[in-house]
Amino acid sequence: MQGASFIALVATLSVIPTIPVAGMALILGIDRFMSMFRGLVNMIGNGVATLIVARWENELSREALRSRLA
């Protein structure tokens, strides 16, 4: 599913006639790295959100978290 975001971007930008094809090639080269970083940020955010909700709901204590991470 890595190329889906680029296809959506190209379809959106195709209605704007002022963007050159070379610009699309540049975006394609960068999009792969951006996709990796988006996935990494998403994974970290999901982990942090899980810990926050667990603490908020009193399902996780600081001592348990420290002992499991140690």
Domain ranges of the chain: 4-69
pLDDT in tens, 9-33: 777 777 777 777 777 777 777 877 8
Based on C-alpha coordinates, what's the Rg of the chain? 20
How far is residue 33's CA from residue 45's CA, in Å, rounded to a whole number?
18
How far is residue 68's CA from residue 70's CA, in Å, rounded to a whole number?
6
Q: Report how far apart, in Å, the C-alpha atoms of 26 and of each of 20, 30, 39 are.
A: 10, 6, 21
Residue 34 has pLDDT above 90, yes or no: no
- DSSP single-letter state for residue 20: -
Return the exposure string of 34-44: e unless at least 16 CB atoms fall within 10 Å of the residue's CB, then b: ebeeeeeeeee
pLDDT of residue 11: 77
